Amino acid sequence: MTGSVGLLIRAKQQKLIPAIRPLVEQMRQSGIYYSERFVQSVLREVGE
């Protein structure tokens, strides 16, 4: 089972999307909660 951020990570690794940050920010603005610590960890993992 993979969550939405996991799918974004895979998409970035497969070069299907150029960046995760704008998508995660859109999700956060729509009401999905991700801690800042989690977001920074994900972005660091994918080199953003």
State how many domains the chain has: 1
Domain encompassing residue 18: 4-45
Residues 5-48: pLDDT tens digits?
999 999 999 999 999 999 999 999 999 999 999 999 999 999 99
Q: Give the list of residues 6+ apart from residue 31 with CB closer than 8 angstroms, or none.
A: none
Q: Which two tokens stand for residue 18?
A: 């150029």
Q: Which position has the token pair 């951020």?
A: 5
Please check the confidence at residue 1 and state whether its pLDDT lies above 80.
no
> How far is Cα 15 from Cα 28, in angstroms, rounded to an integer?
23
